[in-house]
Amino acid sequence: MAERHPQIVGNWDKVGRTACDEMYPDSIRFQDNGLYFGLKDQPGTFTQWDVGTYEITGSERINISTANDAIVTYRFAISDDTLTFVDHYDCQFRYRRAG
C-alpha cells in the first residue's frame, strides 16, 4: 500500500559523486502526483532515473520506475534537508534539498 511522504516532494541536488552513483541523476524533482524528473549536469548523459513514477511503499522503501521502465525498490531516508538512497548493490548516495 502506498504511503504519503510529502517531505520527498521538491527539488534535490546530489551531494558528492562516487563511482557507484554515476548512473543516478545530479538533480531530481519529485512531484506530489507521483512523478519525478531527473537530470544530469551534462545534457545528454545517461541517467537511470530520467522521468517516471515513484511510489513510497513503506517507511524506508520507495519504488522508482527506471530508464528501461523497470520498477526498482530502493531504501531511502530523509533527515533535515538530506535525502539518502541505497540501491540493491548497497550503493549509498545523497541529495540535498535545493533552494
CB-based burial, 37-59: b 16+ in 10 Å, e otherwise = ebbbeeeeeebbbbebebbbeee
Cα separation, 55 vs 67, in Å, equals: 16
Mean pLDDT of 37-60: 93
Contact 34, 54 (CB under 8 A): yes
62 pairs with which residues across the strands? 56, 74
* CA 68 centroid distance within chain: 15
pLDDT tens digits, one per residue of 67-97: 999 999 999 999 999 999 999 999 999 999 9
* pTM attached to this predicted model: 0.91
Domains assigned to the chain: 6-97 (2.40.128.490)
